[in-house]
Amino acid sequence: MDVTLSVNGVSRTASVEPRITLADVLRDELGLTGTHVGCEHGVCGACTVLLDGRSVRSCLLFAVQAAGQEVTTVEGLAAADGTLHPLQKAFHDAHGLQCGFCTPGFLMAARELLDENPSPTESEVRTWLSGNLCRCTGYQNIVDAVLLAAERMRGAP
Amino acid sequence: MDVYLPRTLPEALELKARHPEAMPIAGGTDVMVDINFDRHRPTALIDLTRIPELAVWRREDGHIFLGAGVTYTRIMQELPGLRAWFQAARTVGSPQIRNRATVGGNLGTASPAGDALPVIAAHDGEVIMISARGERSLAWHEFLVGVKRNALHPDELIAGVRWRTVRGPGSFSKIGTRNAMVISMAGLCLLLDEEARAVRVALGSVAPTIVRAAEAEAFAAAEIARAGAWDDPKATLSEGTLAEFGERVTGAAKPIDDIRGTARYRRHACVVLGRRALAWALADRRG
Ligand SMILES: Cc1cc2nc3c(=O)[nH]c(=O)nc-3n(C[C@H](O)[C@H](O)[C@H](O)COP(=O)(O)OP(=O)(O)OC[C@H]3O[C@@H](n4cnc5c(N)ncnc54)[C@H](O)[C@@H]3O)c2cc1C
Ligand code: FES
Ligand code: FES
């Protein structure tokens, strides 16, 4: 079955079995391995991508269900010339990652939060990210990074 | 496995009539977990996420109709005035789950831990089912027939739920192991119905299906009447009465021990959830 999706603004077509998840198509068919797969049952958040601007678990979605929709992955965050997105820069500056396995999921979840609420409180950030698991950082630096990115993005012209 | 992607309700109903074994999939947050764990291998799926007729809610002559395809995120954004619904939606999973998961999926799965279900029960909701043959509806307790079992026929889809608007405060609260970590150990929805001068309490996760605590409901309504609080919102109930209400709420529970908690803990949770919910509702009326 042929599926056409818009991925990070580019129309991509893949020939897939109906029972293949969006996460697997992104990684195996389209070579976008930035989307990580941890638990495959919706709990860890590592596979988070945006579907028409809303964060979803790509392990809980068949690729064919996303046909014709707009998918944004972590590869779509940085600018075309490689300039990091303010969230990526802030994760770097505030030490929001250690092993980095969870990072793509946190970045995409945080991106939706800041799209909707440019000035979240610390507690709003924590609540929003409660569905993403990290085994390294203890979360504090991740929360700090999101707050730092929000501050920089508000300051931007 | 075949996947059908109908774009209209008639198209979906025709597919379901032709392929009654095909499993509907809405947000996929229950279906996919089963498939990824290999607990279930459907031969065919019918994707319902493109069907506009299921993704609507509306007010109709004193009732509210909530379509099966409405997500929890949309309930929070579009129906914040329905306090208990808002609170239940907010407790489901995490934002990424709420962006996909639907009320229809909660009804389809019919788990005693489904958080929308006590809210539907407290509203005396009826479930609307639809097939190529036509439409029918069942009261929530006729629809939820057992643990993970509902009264849907193989050629039917859930269209949504419908209930008479309730005037008065209400809440949903639950106890679970961690925010965003799935399933509740006990959940409770309480509504004060100012017009009928009634109290409605429904419990989740503490019996094979959702239960109403009828005896506790009658007790609370009578105590509120005795205190004169239906007419005078400033009148209060004593701590002792609230505590007794909590004990009576627990009387409706038939909990079991499982990996999430013991029956004893669940009974205690019902006492606390019940007492608090009634205290909140009375405080809300005092304004
Ligand atoms: C990480 C995680 C956390 C979760 N946390 C919670 C929680 O806190 N509270 C809670 O209640 N649930 C929770 N769930 C379970 C799940 O999200 C809910 O039950 C949700 O309401 C299911 O909706 P869905 O649209 O994703 O259903 P789907 O998975 O698409 O479908 C579920 C079932 O309903 C059937 N179905 C769906 N729509 C229809 C229809 N219109 N007509 C006929 N049949 C239909 C399907 O065939 C299937 O049997 C969680 C799940 C995950 C993965
Ligand atoms: S891999 Fe999708 S939530 Fe864990
Ligand atoms: S940085 Fe290692 S899991 Fe989060």
B191-210 tens-digit pLDDT: 999 999 999 999 999 999 99
Structure confidence at residue B39 (pLDDT): 81
How are beta strands B2-4 and B44-47 bridged, if at all? parallel
pLDDT at residue B35, as a whole number: 87
Q: What is the pLDDT of residue A43?
A: 92
One domain for residues B159 and B175? no
Distance CA B194, CA B259 (A): 39
Q: Between B180 and A142, where is the model more confident?
A: A142
Largest CA distance in chain A: 46
Do both B126 and B179 map to the same domain? Answer: no
CA distances from B141 to B108, B111, B164, B205 (A): 14, 13, 16, 15
Q: For ligand 3, is residue A100 a contact (CB within 6 Å)? A: yes
* pLDDT 10s digits, A25-54: 999 999 999 999 999 989 999 999 999 999
Q: What is the CATH number of the domain that holds B240?
A: 3.30.390.50
**Cβ atoms of B248 and B216 closer than 8 Å:** yes
Instruction: State the CATH number of the domain containing residue B19.
Output: 3.30.465.10
Whole-number pLDDT of residue A155: 87
* B250 Cα to chain A: minimum distance (Å): 30
d(CA A90, CA A98): 14
User: Quick check: B2 contacting A, CB < 8 Å?
Assistant: yes
A41, A44, A116: which to substitute to probe chain B, counting the most B Cβ within 10 Å? A41
Query: Among residues B164, B196, B230, which one ends one of the domains?
Result: B164
Q: What percent of chain B has pLDDT over 90?
A: 88
Q: How confident is the model at residue B259 (pLDDT cuts 50, 70, 90)?
A: confident
Q: pLDDT tens-digit profile of B18-50?
A: 999 999 999 999 999 888 888 888 999 999 999
Q: With a cut of 80, say whether residue A130 has pLDDT above it.
A: yes
Q: Do A41 and B99 make contact, defined as CB atoms within 8 angstroms?
A: no
> Are B181 and A56 within 8 A, CB to CB?
no
Number of folded domains in chain B? 2
Which of B97, B138, B184 maximizes ligand 1 atoms within 8 Å of its Cβ, making it the mutation to test the pocket? B97
Distance B190 CA to ligand 2 centre (A): 34
E strand intervals along chain B: 2-4, 23-25, 44-47, 57-60, 63-67, 126-131, 134-139, 144-146, 149-150, 157-164, 170-176, 184-193, 198-204, 211-212
Residue type, position A116, single letter: E
- Please indicate, yes or no, whether residues B176 and B152 belong to a single structural domain of this protein: no
**How many angstroms separate the alpha carbon of residue A131 from the centre of ligand 3?**
14
Average pLDDT (B65-85) is 97
* Mutation site, A37, A58, A62, interface B, largest B CB count within 10 A: A62
- Using a CB–CB cutoff of 8 Å, tell me whether B29 touches chain A: yes
Tell me, yes or no, whether B275 and B190 share the same domain. yes
Instruction: List Cα–Cα distances, A144 to A81, A87, A95, A106, B164, in angstroms.
Output: 26, 11, 9, 12, 46
End-to-end CA distance of chain B: 56
Q: Are A45 and A131 in contact (CB under 8 A)?
A: yes
B37 vs A contacts (CB less than 8 Å): 41
Taking the model in full, what pTM does it have?
Answer: 0.95
Percent pLDDT > 90 in chain A is 94
pLDDT, mean over chain B = 94
pLDDT, tens digit, for every residue of B218-234?
999 999 999 999 999 99
* pLDDT the model gives residue B181: 60
Q: What is the pLDDT of residue B178?
A: 62
Is the domain of B49 the same as that of B87?
A: yes
* All domains of chain A in start order, with CATH: 2-75 (3.10.20.30), 86-155 (1.10.150.120)
A60–B94: do the CB atoms touch at under 8 Å?
A: no
Domain ranges, residue B216: 170-286
Q: Does the structure show a pLDDT above 60 at B55?
A: yes
Q: Show the ligand 2 pocket: residues with CB < 6 angstroms.
A: A 37-40, 42-47, 57, 59
Query: pLDDT tens across B88-130, in order?
Result: 999 999 999 999 999 999 999 999 999 999 999 999 999 999 9
Which of these three, B118, B139, B164, is where a domain ends? B164
pLDDT of residue B180: 53
Please say if the pLDDT value at position B179 is more than 80. Answer: no
Number of other residues whose CB lies within 10 A of the CB of residue B130? 22
Does the structure's ipTM exceed the value 0.90?
yes
